[in-house]
Amino acid sequence: MARGPGLAPPPLLALLVLAAVSGYAVAQYNCTCPTNKMTVCSQDGPGGRCQCRALGSGVVVDCSKLTSKCLLLKARMSIPKSGRRLVRPNEHAILDNDGLYDPECDHEGRFKARQCNQTSVCWCVNSVGVRRTDKGDQSLRCDEVVRTHHILIDMRHRATDRAFNHSDLDTELRRLFRERYQLHPRFLTAVHYEEPTIQIELWQNASQKVPGDVDIADAAYYFERDIKGESLFAGPGGLDMQVRGEPLHVEQTLIYYLDEKPPQFSMKRLTAGLIAVIVVVVVALVAGLVVLVITNRRKSGKYKKVEIKELGELRNEPSL
């Protein structure tokens, strides 16, 4: 068969058509979830729209918002161990133990008050999914999800020539939480700075939260994963913090969670003076681990570490 003049040879033509078609598809239906890469998306939503389901649970997520921490943890646990190791290859992988367990989420994607693992060991959690009671068997009752209403993020930044300007740093971190994590500015109550320590305080009482507000638990979790270099957002490029063009590298982070009610651990030293359990997620450069710290909240508002317990236990216990 004679080809018409000027026509590209078939293979090239096919390539061009393919490129045009797929280019069109990408432009028209880039079906991904910008706020949660741990999803599977397809065009099977209402009216052929893009719909994304969280890995692990299959729950349809709203990709214009942050996904709840419970669904994110569940998705993370659904990825085979080898896959998780791919994400974070290092010899300390065994320390990667930041409160990981396969959680049960309610219809809103929130943590259920009682969590159990496959061996019927159960415990009660707070709204960030952190254990706040002793472990029991399946007869253990958890009446409610106790709200974590105060989160303190304590970070150290890498040495710089000069200290950051506090007001610029404050502005930058508030912008980050507002824009990247969609947190209403009134819930970021303070940014403290004393080189090289930066503290961010998030406060959100149940009564202050209106439907549609991002929960501080979710904002803090997205931030934690960003800091660890495991961004949950789809697309290239993780968190790139800068203060007036000066890069801000975080080297170590502790995240303290304070609940509305005191925790219920039957520890010898848990006395009347102790009103809060603080669970600290140590975000080292390569690995995270959970440290349980019982604290005594003084009038000064300072947090005093009274006891660091269970570190050894938690280190080799993937269930928290």
Ligand X SMILES: *[C@@H]1O[C@H](CO)[C@@H](O)[C@H](O)[C@H]1NC(C)=O
Q: Which residues bind ligand X (CB under 6 A)?
A: 30-32, 34, 50, 117-119, 121, 135, 165, 167-168, 205, 208, 317-319
DSSP secondary structure code for residue 236 in this structure: S
Cβ contacts of 135 within 8 Å, gap of 6 or more:
121, 122, 123
Cα 316 to Cα 312: distance, rounded to the nearest angstrom: 7
Least distance between ligand X and beta carbon 145 (Å)? 16
Least distance between ligand X and beta carbon 30 (Å)? 4
Preceding omega of 262 cis (within 30 degrees of 0): no
- First-to-last C-alpha distance (Å) of the chain: 71
Choice between 197 and 205, CB closer to ligand X: 205
Choice between 12 and 205, CB closer to ligand X: 205
Strand partners, 291: 280
Choice between 30 and 90, CB closer to ligand X: 30
Beta-carbon count within 10 A of 91 CB: 8
Least distance between ligand X and beta carbon 29 (Å)? 8
Least distance between ligand X and beta carbon 150 (Å)? 8
Least distance between ligand X and beta carbon 267 (Å)? 16
Cα 137 to Cα 141: distance, rounded to the nearest angstrom: 9
Query: In the 3-class helix/strand/coil scheme, how is 160-215 assigned residue by residue?
Result: CCCCCCHHHHHHHHHHHHHHCCCCCHHHEEEEEEECCEEEEEEECCHHHCCCCCCC
- Cα angle, residue 187 at apex, residues 183 and 193 outer, rounded to 5°: 100
Choice between 168 and 195, CB closer to ligand X: 168
* Residue 149 burial (C-beta neighbours within 10 Å; 0-12, 13-18, 19+): buried
Choice between 121 and 267, CB closer to ligand X: 121
* Residue 140 burial (C-beta neighbours within 10 Å; 0-12, 13-18, 19+): middle
Choice between 56 and 253, CB closer to ligand X: 56
Choice between 121 and 286, CB closer to ligand X: 121
Cα 166 to Cα 278: distance, rounded to the nearest angstrom: 26
Least distance between ligand X and beta carbon 134 (Å)? 11
Least distance between ligand X and beta carbon 287 (Å)? 19
